């Protein structure tokens, strides 16, 4: 029997993870039989190489190998694609057509995303699996075929069965042997290995020196969640290979390429943050937004009254509670910002039309505060920008603020916030 190592080499499969090796070994073991195999695993884990291994190591290797993406064929034509149709079976069926199950007789059919098959097609497929029989669309003649079926899915089939989207009997027929490919995050040892392989491939492809990661970047790479698995890793290796001038990649640079790093990478964000902390943070964020909205409504009301009556004193009297609150909030803000001397009556000055528009810097605040919750890389980039600008202007805030395109006051707040 062909060895696992030799098979991996032949099919370009990188990695030494025991779970990966076990999957390849299982494929080798079942190949010579006609047993149906279901390959499971998240998107991008490399499911497509398993049916190829099985076909190539089987007695069917000189027969046809057809891969069908069940999720990509419209429901209306899938039966005809798989099983063929008779002339005149439907409008546009001007000729008899042979389906994949007829064409691939003696070979192997790979049904990718099998969970997407419509229920009616599932009935036809079950019949093929049970006795090798099928009927063309629009025909009444039963035909025979001899195909080996390997299917793959990245959806939880038990869920699909529970929801009535997938037939339980078909599931058991398809999954006589199940081969599970582990997600990349569970193959920590293989991550850097794969990255180096891709980096070297892309260096050749784009005729550039190979990128390499420094030690912190390697740690980050191995801690990342990789929800798109190997496909995502390959994609990021390609982007960095093309876009980065400096061929030694730091963790900060790498971070810029990893989406959702905040929620995907608890370990790097903070030593002991877990899922629930993040949902708490989200709740807090919602609450802040909610409070802001209600403050805004209060202010709108106040502004309207002021504009309508023009009698500052009366409005002030009618809205004592609210004004008190504004003043309090202002006091609290002052602790974080440069003191601004303002009395309650100054606060109540009717704003002119132009100041009613949100100021550029305020818009900037708002956007930035939401973004910060989402991507820490932005936060880091901002910190870096501010630091560099301050260095360039030898600590002169006014010049730095001008260069950064923010107000001096915002810069002052940032300096405090980041403890610069
Ligand atoms: N072990 C591996 N070594 C090298 N490349 C891999 C490996 N596993 C997957 N790939 C590559 O990752 C990409 C996604 O694999 P694919 O089989 O299409 O994933 P799936 O079908 O599970 O979504 C492909 O480009 C494939 O060549
Ligand atoms: Mg696939």
Say whether both 237 and 314 belong to one domain.
no
Final residue before a domain boundary, out of 182, 204, 223: 182
Q: What is the CATH number of the domain that holds 122?
A: 3.40.50.300
pLDDT at 420: 79
Pocket of ligand 1 (CB under 6 A): 12-15, 41, 43-49, 194, 230-231, 234
Q: Are residues 21 and 55 in the same domain?
A: yes
Residues 125 and 189 in one domain: no
Name the band, by pLDDT with cuts 50, 70 and 90, for residue 327: low
Residue 203's pLDDT is 96
In a domain, 45, yes or no: yes
Measured in Å, residue 42 CA sits from the centre of ligand 1 at 11
416 pLDDT tier (thresholds 50, 70, 90): confident
Q: How many Å apart are CA 194 and CA 210, to the nearest integer?
A: 14
As a whole number, mean pLDDT of residues 119-130 equals 96
Write out the residue range of the structural domain in which residue 23 sits: 4-182
Q: Give the model's confidence band at 331: pLDDT under 50 very low, under 70 low, under 90 confident, else very high.
A: low
For residue 20, give the ligand 1 atom closest to its CA.
1
- Let me know if residue 382 belongs to a domain: yes
Residues 178 and 194 in one domain: no
- pLDDT for 76 beyond 50: yes
Segment 229-269, tens digit of pLDDT: 999 999 999 999 999 999 999 999 999 999 877 544 444 44
Which of 230, 232, 237, 238 has most ligand 1 atoms within 8 Å of CB, for mutation?
230
Q: Cα(314)–Cα(390) distance, rounded to whole angstroms?
A: 47
CA-closest residue to ligand 1 atom 13: 231
Which ligand 1 atom is at minimum distance from the Cα of 234?
12
Distance CA 114, CA 71 (A): 7
In a domain, 265, yes or no: no
Instruction: Give the number of the ligand closest to the Cα of residue 183.
Output: 1
Residue 92 Cα to ligand 1 middle (Å): 38
Find the Cα–Cα–Cα–Cα dihedral 87, 91, 94, 98, rounded to 10°: -50
Residues 47 and 106 both lie in one domain: yes
Cα(69) to centroid(ligand 2), Å: 8
Q: Which of 13, 24, 39, 44 to mutate to test the pocket of ligand 1 (most atoms within 8 A of CB)?
A: 44
User: Do 287 and 153 share a structural domain?
Assistant: no
Q: How far is the CA of 93 from the centre of ligand 2 (A)?
A: 30
Same domain, 65 and 152: yes
In a domain, 262, yes or no: no
Expressed in angstroms and rounded, the spacing between residue 231 Cα and the centre of ligand 2 is 10
Q: How far is the CA of 223 from the centre of ligand 1 (A)?
A: 20
Cα dihedral value 274, 275, 281, 286, nearest 10: 180
Predicted confidence (pLDDT) at residue 384 exceeds the cutoff of 80: yes
Closest-CA residue, ligand 1 atom 9, reads 46
C-alpha span between 224 and 278 (Å, rounded): 16
pLDDT category at 411 given cuts 50, 70, 90 is: confident
10 Å Cβ neighbour count for 285?
A: 15
Ranges 119-128, 274-283, 324-333: which has the least confidence: 274-283
Q: Do both 170 and 222 map to the same domain?
A: no
pLDDT given at position 417 = 80
Question: Average pLDDT, whole number, for the chain?
Answer: 83
Residue 369 within a domain:
yes
pLDDT category of residue 99 using cuts at 50, 70 and 90: very high
Q: Which element (helix H / strand E) includes 212?
A: strand 212-213
The answer to whether residue 275 scores a pLDDT higher than 90 is no
Residues 167 and 190 occupy one common structural domain:
no
pLDDT at 108 over 50: yes
Q: Please tell me whether residues 338 and 413 are part of one structural domain.
A: yes
pLDDT of residue 418: 80
Domain count, the chain: 3
pLDDT tens for each residue of 11-20? 999 999 999 9
Q: Which residue has the higher pLDDT, 272 or 181?
A: 181
pLDDT for res 271: 40
> Residue 301 — very low, low, confident or very high, per pLDDT cuts 50/70/90?
confident
């Amino acid at each position: 029997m062909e060895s696992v190592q030799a098979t991996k080499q032949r099919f370009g499969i990188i990695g030494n993870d025991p779970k990966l090796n076990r999957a390849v070994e299982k494929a080798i073991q079942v190949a010579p039989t006609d047993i149906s195999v279901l390959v499971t695993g998240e998107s991008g884990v490399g499911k497509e190489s398993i049916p190829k291994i099985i076909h190539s190591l089987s007695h069917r290797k000189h027969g046809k190998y057809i891969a069908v993406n069940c999720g990509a064929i419209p429901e209306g034509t899938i039966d005809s694609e798989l099983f063929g149709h008779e002339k005149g079976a439907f409008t546009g069926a001007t000729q008899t057509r042979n389906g994949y199950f007829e064409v691939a007789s003696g070979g192997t059919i790979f049904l990718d995303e099998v969970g997407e098959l419509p229920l009616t097609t599932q009935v036809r497929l079950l019949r093929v699996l049970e006795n090798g029989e099928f009927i063309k669309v629009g025909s009444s003649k039963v035909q025979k075929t001899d195909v080996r079926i390997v299917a793959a899915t990245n959806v939880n089939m038990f869920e699909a069965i529970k929801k009535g989207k997938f037939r339980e009997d078909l599931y058991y027929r398809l999954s006589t042997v199940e081969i599970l490919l582990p997600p990349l995050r569970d193959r920590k040892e293989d991550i850097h290995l794969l990255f180096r392989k891709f980096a070297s491939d892309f260096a050749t492809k784009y005729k550039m020196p190979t990128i390499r990661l420094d030690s912190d970047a390697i740690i980050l790479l191995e801690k990342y969640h990789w929800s798109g698995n190997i496909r995502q890793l390959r994609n990021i290796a390609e982007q960095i290979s093309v876009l980065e001038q400096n061929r030694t990649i730091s963790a900060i640079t790498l971070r810029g390429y990893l989406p959702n790093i905040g929620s995907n990478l608890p370990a790097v964000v903070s030593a002991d943050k877990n899922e629930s902390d993040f949902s708490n943070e989200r709740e807090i964020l919602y609450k802040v937004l909610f409070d802001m909205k209600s403050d805004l409504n209060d202010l709108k009301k106040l502004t309207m009254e002021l504009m309508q009556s023009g009698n500052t004193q009366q409005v002030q009297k009618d809205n004592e509670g609210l004004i008190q609150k504004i003043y309090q909030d202002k006091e609290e803000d002052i602790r974080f910002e440069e003191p601004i001397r303002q009395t309650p009556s100054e606060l109540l000055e009717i704003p002119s039309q132009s100041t009613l528009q949100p100021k550029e810097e305020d818009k900037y605040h708002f956007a930035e505060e939401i973004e910060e919750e989402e991507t820490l890389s932005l936060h880091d980039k901002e910190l870096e920008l501010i630091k560099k600008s301050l260095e360039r202007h030898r600590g002169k805030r006014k010049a730095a603020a001008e260069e950064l395109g923010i107000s001096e006051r915002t810069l002052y707040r940032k300096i405090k916030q980041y403890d610069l």
